Structure 1
Amino acid sequence: METKSKIAFFGSSVVSAYWNGAATYYRGIVKALSQLGHEVTFYEPDIYDRQKHRDIADPDYCKVVIYESTEAEIERLLAEASLADVIIKASGVGAFDDLLEAGVAKLKADNNLVIFWDVDAPATLDRINSDPFDPFNELIPKYDYILTYGGGQPVIDAYESKLAQKCIPVYNAFDAETHHPVPAEEQYQCDLAFLGNRLPDREARVEEFFLNAAEILPDKKFILGGSGWGDKALPGNANYVGHVYTNQHNAFNTSPLAVLNISRDSMAKYGFSPATRVFEAAGAGACIITDYWEGVDFFFEPGKEILIANNGEEVAEILRELTPERALEIGKAAYSRAMSHHTYNNRAGLLDSIFDKSLSSAEKIYL
């Protein structure tokens, strides 16, 4: 296949999901772009022990460059990336983010695209709105595009108020080759399971929607997965299973009666920010209970394809009434919707049109 464009992508990690919730998002996007003929080099720093907890070997859909986090090395990699047609800096790389954001913006030329891809737009916007001297404020207009993995119109409006040339949400999705229905596994069988790393703006909501529901229903079994919860006090009917590697996500999603999605505070506030795991769970045919956030009905039909709760008491009430037959029916409906509307191939088609149209226009101007 002829290469459509060469893409340099600076992100947290494509090979490790350890303390890196964006991993499967990156994998799905990059894999789908590769299948469309784009050649991607993914640059990721060797930090936070991620390389010691890799989920996958270097994939065949991109070249992976793991680098030491020094200013000299980053400057060298920026020079290398300057030869690409599309140069992307994702939010939350984890080391020297300011240097990378300024460096990628400076690589703008007549015949390329420079993009800031915000995988945590609500948090970024809250940060820069609270600090007018944050250096990223001045960089926003220098990027051809601000891409986000959620946020809807509120995030678009917020970025455009910061003089972004164009802000486009590229929502989370799932890779059907990676996330799909599998037989249940005993270790994950329970009434409700939640998977998410322990983060400051998520913990209170986990306490309300998950732990409170567990306390209300002492006769039900709950499972908590993700990094950082080891010293968290849990009810006796809640079991902590630690970090769940990507190759176990399907079993984690298909084995419980239902799985719970809990948004972080900032994402719930802006709305239209479904977590990657919502689509992964739907792709596995799970019955999903989600906390309420504006825009949920844009992705799944409430009551038919997903169940909504406003607090832990409502989660408990749903579980009291949920039968295995009803859970299976909802899971099948969610799976059907996800397969038709929410695969990474759907998302990559949007990106492909953006890159093709923008690069063709730039080439004409350049010539």
Structure 2
Amino acid sequence: MRLDIVVLGLSITSSWGNGHATTYRALIKALSERGHTVTFLERDVAWYREHRDLRRPDWCRVELYKRLEDLPRRFGTLVRDADLVILGSFVPDGTAIADWVTSQARGVTAFYDIDTPVTMSRLERGVTDYIAPSLIPRFDLYLSFTGGPVLELIEQTWGARAARPLYCAVDPDLHKPQDVLPHLALGYIGTYSPDRQRTLDRLLVEPARRLPSLRFAVAGPQYPAELEWPANVERIDHLPPQDHARFYCGQRYTLNVTRADMIAAGWSPSVRLFEAGACGVPVISDRWAGLDAFFTPGTEILIADSTEQAVAILREIPEERRRDIAAAARKRTLASHTARERARALEEHYAEARASRPREREGTETGVGAVA
């Protein structure tokens, strides 16, 4: 099976404050390695234009467009004739694009929700601007970053034809052990978020205050200038994806902090879990339902609910056990959580959706219209 795939996503060219880029890069690279042809369509906006760190990947074609009206004019035939068209969450003018894609594409159509709990909350409040309730049943697939019970909710409440998990993943070619001595007791990568900051304070900032002889680091943009950090916490404003592996490998442990919406939904793993795991670095995580579906607590990952528990891990776990956890995490990650595994899952979801369609969709040449 060799597919012609079109992805309309938030951004693949810039990872600045944009977690979607990491997911798209890893997945599309894996799809290319499996023989598929992928074209990524991205809105050319100032924020990402000024912070691009991937311009011309050799594993997919990237096309930028400036206005909504450019899509049917420049890419109408491409979208109509593709085997699979994927629209991602948070794409500008997403509702209008969803209407156009599901009206014009003759192949399988999929909405890829990289922000599922956020989307569900916005749908309930009627404030979603990148997908509309009336459009969800028109897609052949609803691909979700979140698994578990939310998949049934997407089908039963919002009318999705087939809600299937397509979790984030790691590119093991980029994330692997490095020849670096761990000089940080604990590190964290993540864009600032008020709901995550409370957990970050509890599991990293306060342990840093209690353990002044150890070194810590927090990498990520958009942290308020008024935040006060202990002297032994290094702040890094932005860490490009190509530098993640070296950053992880310079830590004895990596911290995973989950957004409140993701905790409420459960089954919402962060890509940081898989990146650190592939690098052979043990993770300390907050607690959420479904975590044990991805890693076994105590042997492949450590869970901390309090400052005291985080401090105890940093101070008391023997080095041999730390290395055993790291090795187990890497083994599990490479077996179950690589982009190649997700590419295979996407192929299966495509085949299922393709087989369930009663007939070939007949597209017509029209422009992108407003969605009521």
TM value normalised by structure 1: 0.90
Instruction: Find the partner of 1:302 among 265, 272, 297.
Output: 297
Identity %: 33
2: distance between equivalents of 1:278 and 1:229? 22
Name the SS of the counterpart of 1:88 in structure 2.
strand
Unaligned stretches of 5+ residues in structure 1: none
Return the alpha-carbon distance in structure 1 between the equivalents of residues 47 and 105 of structure 2: 33
Q: Distance in 2 between matches of 1:222 and 1:303?
A: 23
1:4 aligned onto 2:2: yes
In the alignment, is the contact (CA less than 8 A) between 2:15 and 2:22 conserved in 1? yes
Contact 1:201 1:266 (8 Å CA) reproduced: no
> What is residue 145 of structure 1 aligned with on the other side?
141
Q: CA deviation at 1:238?
A: 1.1
Which residue of 261, 268, 271 maps to 1:273?
268
Cα offset, 1:152, TM superposition: 1.8
- Alpha-carbon contact 2:79-2:105 (below 8 Å) kept: no
Question: Residues 86-122 of structure 1: CA distance to partner in whole angstroms, max 9, x if unpaired?
Answer: 11110022x222322332232354xx11110000100
Change in CA separation of 1:76 and 1:19 when aligned onto 2, cut-off 3 Å = farther
Q: Secondary structure at the match of 1:7?
A: strand
Q: Is 1:174 paired with 2:170?
A: yes
Summarize deviations over 1:293-349 as a string: whole Å, max 9, x none: 111111111111110011333222211213433322211111111111111111111
CA shift at 1:157, angstroms? 1.9
Answer whether contact 1:19 1:50 (CA < 8 A) is retained.
no
Q: Does 1:71 align with 2:68?
A: yes
Distance in 2, Cα, partners of 1:277 & 1:173: 9
Q: Secondary structure at the match of 1:81?
A: helix
Say whether 1:229 aligns with 2:227. no
Q: Residue 280 of structure 1: SS of its match in structure 2?
A: helix
Distance (Å, rounded) in 1 between the aligned partners of 2:27 and 2:90: 17
Matched with 1:356 is 351
Query: Counterpart of 1:53 in 2: which secondary structure?
Result: coil
Change (3 A) 1:128 1:362: closer
Aligned position for 1:291: 286
The residue aligned with 2:193 is 199
Give the whole-Å Cα distance in 2 for the aligned partners of 1:171 and 1:198.
22
Q: Deviations over 1:105-140 (max 9, x none)?
A: 32354xx11110000100000111122897611111
Deviations 1:181-214 (A, max 9, x none): 11116xx821100000113442333233322332
SS across alignment from 2:100: helix
Alpha carbons 2:172, 2:338 under 8 Å: kept: yes
Deviation at 1:366, TM superposition (A): 6.9
Determine the structure 2 residue equivalent to 1:104.
Answer: 101
Deviation (angstroms), 1:224: 0.4
Tell me how many residue pairs correspond in the alignment: 358
Secondary structure, counterpart of 1:330 in structure 2: helix
Q: Which segments of 5 or more consecutive residues in structure 2 lack a partner in the other structure?
A: 363-372
- The answer to whether the aligner puts 1:51 opposite 2:49 as a matched pair is yes
Does the 8 Å CA contact 1:195/1:225 hold for their aligned counterparts?
yes
Q: Bigger shift: 30-39 or 255-264?
A: 30-39
Q: 1:91, 1:120 within 8 Å by CA — same for their partners in 2?
A: yes
Contact persistence 1:197–1:226 (CA under 8 A): yes
- Give the C-alpha shift of residue 350 in structure 1: 1.5
Sort the Cα spacing of 1:51 and 1:189 in 2 relative to 1 into closer, same or farther, 3 A. Answer: farther
In the alignment, the residues of structure 2 paired with residue 365 and residue 317 of structure 1 have an alpha-carbon distance, to the nearest angstrom, of 60
Q: 1:13 maps to which residue?
A: 11
Instruction: Return the letter of the residue paired with 1:44.
Output: E
- Distance in 2, Cα, partners of 1:204 & 1:147: 30
Counterpart in 2 of 1:210?
204
Give the counterpart letter for 2:84 in structure 1: V
Structure 1: how far apart are the matches of 2:42 and 2:306? 38
Match of 1:131 among 120, 126, 135: 126
Q: Is the 8 A contact 2:151 2:163 kept in 1?
A: yes
The one-letter amino acid of 2:176's match is: H
For 1:92, the equivalent position in structure 2 comes to: 90
Cα gap change, 1:131 to 1:245, in 2 (>3 Å): same
Give, in whole Å, the separation in 1 of the partners of 2:20 and 2:184. Answer: 26
Bigger shift: 118-127 or 31-40?
31-40
What is the aligned partner in structure 2 of residue 23 from structure 1? 21
Q: What secondary structure does 1:82 align onto?
A: helix
How far off is 1:365 after superposition? 5.5
Aligned to 2:59: 61
> Does structure 2 retain, via aligned residues, the 8 Å contact 1:34–1:40?
yes
